[in-house]
Each structure stands twice: as C-alpha cells, then as structure tokens.
C-alpha cells in the first residue's frame, strides 16, 4: 500500500515537471515563430515569477500548514536586493545571464535572512496569530524600503536611512531612491531564466517534501502534539520550511524585478500577498501543479478581460468566485469522481480481459 502511494506522488511530480517543460517548449517555439502577441510575450517573465511565488507560498501554507499573509514582503526583499546587486555588479560581471544568476542568489540569501529573522518570533505562534504577524511583517518591509536610500559611485555603495543624505562623487548614481524605488533597471530576466527558476523551485520543493524532513513537516501540520510526542523538533522543521519558502520567494522577486523597468516599494503590499494566496488556494493546498496553473491563468486573465473595459475587474472577481464555487461544489465533484471511476473500472476490465 505504502509503495503504491509513493509511486503516485512520484508520478505526479514527474507530470508536474512535464507540464512545465511542455508549456515552456510550446511557448518558446511559438515565440520564435512570432506567433505570440506582445502582451503575452511581456507577461512571460512575470508569470514565471508569480508561479515561483505561488509554489513557495504553497510550501508554507499547503505543506507546513501555516497561513502567511506577508509573502510579498519576501518578494520585496528579493526584488530590491536583486535589482540593487544587478546595478552594482554591472561593471564587474558584464555577462547578463551570469549577473542575473548571481543577483538571484544574493536575493535568495537576503530573503532567507529575513525569513530567519521573522521566523524566530513568528513560528512560536499558530493559526490566526501567525497570519496577523506575517501581515505586519509585509507592511514593515514596505515601510523600511520606502525609507531606504542606496547610491553608488567610484568608492562603492552608500546607504542612508529615512533622509537621503548621500553625497555621491561625480559619475555616481542613485540606485534605490526611497519611495521612488529603482527607476532604471536594465532588463536581464528572460523566459529561459524564469523557466530554470521554476524547475529549480520544483526540484527543491519536491525533494524537501519527499525527504524525511518533509514528512516531519507534514506531521507537524497534521497533528502538532502527536508529532512533538514522537520527538520531532518543531522549531527546526518549521524553520526549515519557512526559510526555504522565503528564499524561493526572494529569488522570484529578483526575477520579477529584473523583468521590469522600474519597481517601487508600494508594489509589494498586502494586496500582492493576498493575490499570491489566491493562486495557492485556487490551485489547491499542497498541490504544486495546481499552483502553477492558477498563477499562470490568473496573471494572464486580467489582460484577456480588457474587452470588458470598465467592468474588467468586476468580471475578474466573478470568474474567481465561480471557479472557487465550482471546484468546491460536491455535486460537480461527485460527477467527476463517478466519471473517473467509470474510466478506471473500464480500464481494469480491459486489463483483466487482456490478461485472460
């Protein structure tokens, strides 16, 4: 029985990889053939970033079982760390691809540090309390970056806080300018880089979930007291999942920021956190392929609905409500299950026939 369950999980993992690879190849070929509209082409990198965001949040919400409302905070840390290092390293690493990779690693490290810092107090809490504290964390990050000034000149990086007191040498430039964010980002993110990041995120998450640690994390989610009683270290495993999730979100932020011309701190607010949570809930808690599809579909959807003009966001909300209702409707669920059962029993009968 156990073997069967495992092989099912592995099968789904492989199909998830296949889904991403097929989608990538199809889009890449269509892009090369000039079959993609500018709109969709422009959205490829943000889609990849949001997919990784949804995957990483699914690790916290679906696998660890803790509701986080401040995930955009990690994205913000990653975005600004990544974009600042991209500008700062422009001279020392001329190769755009390599610079992007380095900046993503730096972003992941910064976001992981933020994850540890916020994790220490937060993971002592549960449920609603944790949700409120993560919400506050997202807002704190937003205000911190709103008041941060980073500039660069021949002497290296300079930073000041609250007031812009930087004195830069001639030929220097402001990189992060408080509420004005980073206005001149050289676009280095590509769809290929986004695809690679999605694959890395999947490998990390599937391997973590499938490992001994992953089972400990899920045991904590299912019954914390029982898990503690068999000697599972709550703090260690919670932290492991939370920090991994934060680091992936940071890398996604770096990808996102370097696919934009400009980013401002107010972009990563409460609404963005909720948007990512919607991807996760819509795709199904703990279901990674669901997060991928939901993130991609809900990023493209508002642009597809532009024909509705003023009623666009209204239609978007209605579509969201309908999808949530339909996927949770017992009648519809039963219908699909009965169809599936019929297919399965038909298949079994066939196999039985073949064996005979």
Residues that bind another protein (CB under 8 A): 8, 11-12, 15, 18-19, 22-23, 26-27, 30, 35-43, 46, 143, 146-147, 151, 153, 164, 166-168, 170-175, 177-181, 183-184, 260-267, 289, 293, 300, 302-304, 306, 310, 312-313, 336, 340, 343-344
Say if CB 27 and CB 183 are below 8 A apart. Answer: no
As measured in angstroms, the least distance from the Cβ of 236 to another protein is: 33
Of the pair 115, 181, the CB lying nearest another protein is at 181
Length reported for the chain: 356
* Backbone torsions φ then ψ of 313, nearest 5 degrees: -70, -25
Of the pair 77, 123, the CB lying nearest another protein is at 77
Of the pair 226, 340, the CB lying nearest another protein is at 340
As measured in angstroms, the least distance from the Cβ of 81 to another protein is: 18
User: DSSP character for 168?
Assistant: P
Nearest Cα to Cα of residue 272 among 288, 295, 290, 304: 295
Of the pair 116, 314, the CB lying nearest another protein is at 314
Cα 16 to Cα 291: distance, rounded to the nearest angstrom: 11
As measured in angstroms, the least distance from the Cβ of 233 to another protein is: 34
Cα 148 to Cα 126: distance, rounded to the nearest angstrom: 32
Of the pair 77, 241, the CB lying nearest another protein is at 77
Say if CB 300 and CB 47 are below 8 A apart. Answer: yes
CA-based end-to-end distance of the chain:
25
Collapsing DSSP to helix, strand or coil, 119 comes out as helix
> Environment class of residue 196 by beta-carbon count within 10 Å: exposed (0-12), middle (13-18) or buried (19+)?
middle
Cα 291 to Cα 282: distance, rounded to the nearest angstrom: 7
Of the pair 232, 323, the CB lying nearest another protein is at 323
């Amino acid at each position: 029985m156990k073997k069967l369950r495992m092989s099912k999980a592995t099968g789904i993992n492989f199909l998830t990889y296949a889904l991403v690879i097929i989608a990538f190849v199809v889009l890449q070929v269509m892009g090369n053939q000039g079959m993609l509209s500018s709109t969709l082409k422009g959205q490829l990198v943000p889609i990849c970033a949001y997919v990784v965001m949804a995957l990483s949040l699914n690790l916290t919400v679906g696998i660890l079982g803790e509701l986080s409302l401040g995930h955009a905070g990690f994205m913000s840390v990653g975005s600004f760390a990544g974009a600042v290092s991209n500008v700062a390293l422009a001279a020392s690493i001329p190769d755009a691809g390599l610079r992007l990779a380095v900046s993503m690693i730096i972003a992941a490290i910064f976001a992981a540090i933020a994850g540890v810092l916020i994790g220490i107090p937060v993971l002592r809490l549960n449920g609603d309390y944790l949700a409120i504290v993560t919400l506050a964390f997202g807002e704190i990050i937003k205000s911190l970056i709103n008041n941060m000034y980073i500039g660069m000149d021949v002497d290296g990086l300079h930073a000041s806080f609250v007031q812009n007191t930087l004195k830069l040498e001639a030929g220097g430039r402001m990189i992060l300018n408080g509420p004005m964010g980073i206005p001149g980002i050289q676009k280095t993110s590509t769809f290929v880089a986004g695809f690679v990041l999605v694959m890395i995120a999947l490998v990390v998450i599937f391997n973590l979930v499938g490992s001994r640690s992953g089972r400990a994390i899920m045991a904590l989610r299912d019954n914390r007291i029982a898990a503690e009683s068999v000697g599972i270290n709550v703090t260690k495993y919670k932290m492991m999942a939370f920090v991994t999730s934060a680091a992936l979100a940071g890398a996604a932020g770096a990808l996102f920021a370097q696919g934009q011309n400009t980013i401002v701190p107010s972009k990563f607010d409460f609404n963005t956190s909720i948007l990512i949570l919607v991807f996760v809930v819509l795709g199904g808690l703990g279901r990674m392929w669901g997060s991928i599809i939901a993130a991609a579909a809900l990023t493209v959807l508002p642009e597809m609905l532009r024909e509705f003009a003023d009623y666009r966001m209204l239609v978007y909300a209605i579509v969201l409500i309908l999808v949530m209702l339909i996927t949770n409707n017992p009648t519809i669920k039963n219908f699909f299950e009965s169809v599936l059962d019929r297919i399965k029993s038909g298949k079994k009968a066939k196999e039985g026939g073949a064996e005979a």
